[in-house]
């Protein structure tokens, strides 16, 4: 199953190892889901996960990014015209649409247009 994962889901999953976002990371690492990405998404993952306030191990971050590059699917995303409250989130929907993702998983659905593919971690896990 092809999915796009918003950065906030990765952060939440790494901060809360028993939460729903952590379950999604586990599905990813166990190759039960296939992540779609582009260079913009990888850059955001790396920048956000490297922030000092989270205290994540840099080697672990690099290993996660490398896993995504090796196991995921790189998408050359088509631009979309939709307006976003936070234009930085647009890239996730562009990749999801261009890569025909089944879901875009985000902890903040309010930042995205209302579409069936856009779900929060709980909604994603319930759909399995």
Q: Which domains does the chain have, with CATH numbers?
A: 2-127 (3.40.50.1010)
pLDDT digits (tens, 9 = 90+) for 36-49: 999 999 999 999 99
pTM score of the predicted model: 0.96
Q: How confident is the model at residue 25 (pLDDT cuts 50, 70, 90)?
A: very high
pLDDT of 85 higher than 90:
no
Q: Are 105 and 5 in contact (CB under 8 A)?
A: yes
pLDDT of residue 86: 84
What mean pLDDT, rounded, does the chain reach?
A: 96
pLDDT of residue 108: 93
pLDDT of residue 76: 98
Helices (H), the chain: 7-15, 20-29, 39-49, 58-71, 90-98, 121-127
pLDDT of 118 higher than 90:
yes
């Amino acid at each position: 199953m092809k999915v796009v994962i918003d950065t906030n889901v990765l952060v939440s999953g790494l901060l809360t190892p028993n939460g729903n976002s952590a379950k999604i990371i586990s599905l990813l690492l166990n190759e039960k889901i296939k992540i779609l990405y582009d260079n913009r998404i990888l850059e955001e993952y790396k920048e956000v996960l490297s922030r000092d306030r989270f205290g994540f191990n840099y080697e672990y971050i690099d290993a996660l990014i490398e896993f995504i590059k090796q196991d995921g699917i790189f998408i050359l995303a088509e631009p979309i015209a939709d307006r976003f409250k936070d234009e930085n989130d647009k890239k996730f929907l562009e990749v999801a649409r261009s890569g025909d993702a089944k879901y875009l998983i985000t902890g903040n659905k309010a930042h995205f247009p209302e579409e069936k593919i856009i779900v929060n971690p709980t909604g994603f896990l319930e759909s399995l």
